Amino acid sequence: MIREDLLKEHILTRFKSVRSFSLEADIPYTTMATLLKSDIGKAKVPTVIKICDTLGIDISSLINGTIKEIKDLVSPQQVFLEKYHKLNFLGKARVESYIDGLLNSETYTDRD
């Protein structure tokens, strides 16, 4: 399987569609579709960084034709992010609003 196919498969395990991934990564859908049909190696560096950051994968592994997830986050954080990525725009806005409310309360925040 070529790296573009691996990338598309990985995207679709985390997002409902390539289009929803493109929106989350702030990459035009047409750009993403073209990259997946041709050669990710010809993408601009900022685009590859956005792809890898959004998916939490290692850039060098993608360029070498594999998908290696970066495990910097502890498990509960990773699970939260995976659930968050599945939400639509309204769901994400609601979560962000709820978190902002919690952060404004001394009851739910650590005191520095």
Question: Is 57 found in the same domain as 89?
Answer: no
Cβ count within 10 A of residue 7: 23
The answer, as to whether pTM is greater than 0.85, is no
User: Which structural domain range is residue 82 located in?
Assistant: 75-108
CA separation for the pair 61, 69 (Å, rounded): 9
Could you tell me the end-to-end alpha-carbon distance of the chain, in angstroms, rounded to an integer?
50
Q: What's the rounded Cα separation, in Å, for the pair 15 and 92? A: 14
Q: Report pLDDT for 78.
A: 75
pLDDT confidence of residue 36 = 94
Residue 68 maps to a domain:
no
**Token pair in block for residue 96:** 């962000």
pLDDT recorded at residue 63? 87
Q: Residue 14 falls within a domain, yes or no?
A: yes
Regions of the chain with pLDDT less than 50: none
Q: What is the pLDDT of residue 81?
A: 82
